[in-house]
Amino acid sequence: MTTDTIPKSIQCAERQLRFDLPVVMGILNVTPDSFSDGGLFSNIESALRQAEKMVSDGAMIIDVGGESTRPGAKSVSNSEELDRVIPVIEKLHQELDVVISIDTSKAMVMTEAARAGAGLINDVMALQQRGALRAAQKTGLPVCLMHMKGKPRTMQTKPEYDDVVTEVKDFLTHKVEQCLKQGIRKEQIIIDPGFGFGKTLAHNVSLFKHLGELKALGFPVLVGASRKTMIGQITGREVQERLAGSLALATMVALKMASLKGASIIRVHDVAETVDAIKVAHALS
């Protein structure tokens, strides 16, 4: 199912997301244990202030997550995740003109988040959890399908591939076909190669070099590598010192996708700096 026709926009509940430029997705973790910002935005007011800042800085999507997927993180129950994310989504929906994404793999959380005002489902498990595919379809929302080798708690324990690009592409193609059979429309699907999710630095670099093969599947591509270990491995920097490296990667993504005429979403912690980098890259490309 290879095609070069990528939608120019995507409908996220009552808001439309356009891909005139690479879209910046701002990360809002309402968790105590996320690798970069755990605990910083775990109450409604601090989460709202951070979301307001990201929107002011140019974020077109706010990605709300209530369960950390860093290696070794503990899983949380449905009720605990709902308690974390639903009040925040409701508040953001009331206060801000922005697409709200729910970063979850749980069917119940998808359903309740859609009711609370979410306009996009971002699932690192690609709708593989029990009931998730059906729940996503029933919400009517677009979905982002991500590739991950293994599970979040153990994904970085010696991941191996015969050919990482082929395996990621085949996995995403299969998940797209499942979505289409379930009734999720092509124009509602985004794909994500899953940088850092069950992949070594060499795997991540290979995927980046072959983004064109993913673009050829015919869907907007989400890239999330902000502050991740791969940046640290290249630069030797700790988590809070990875801004320059993250900006370099975001700029490269913007340039590469522009040359490929592909739509992209770049998921980041540092919105203002990324938006500026993308504007410059786009102007010069």
Residues annotated as catalytic (active site), given as ranges? 228, 267
Using DSSP bridges, classify how beta strands 264-268 and 143-146 pair: parallel, antiparallel or unpaired.
unpaired
Q: Which of 220, 223, 204, 282 is nearest to 27 (CA)?
A: 223
Q: How far is CA 228 from the centre of its chain?
A: 13
How long, in residues, is the chain?
A: 285
Spatial distance between the Cα atoms of 179 and 23, rounded to a whole number of angstroms: 23
Q: Which of 127, 80, 82, 143 is nearest to 109 (CA)?
A: 82
- Please give the full DSSP string across 205-252, using - where no structure is assigned: HHHHHTHHHHHTTSS-EEEE-TT-HHHHHHH---GGG-HHHHHHHHHH
Under 8 Å between Cβ of 223 and 267: yes
Percent of the chain as helix, strand, coil, to the nearest 5:
45, 15, 40
Computed on alpha carbons and rounded to an integer, the radius of gyration of the chain in Å comes to 17
Spatial distance between the Cα atoms of 246 and 269, rounded to a whole number of angstroms: 9
Tally DSSP H helices, then E strands, for the chain: 10, 10
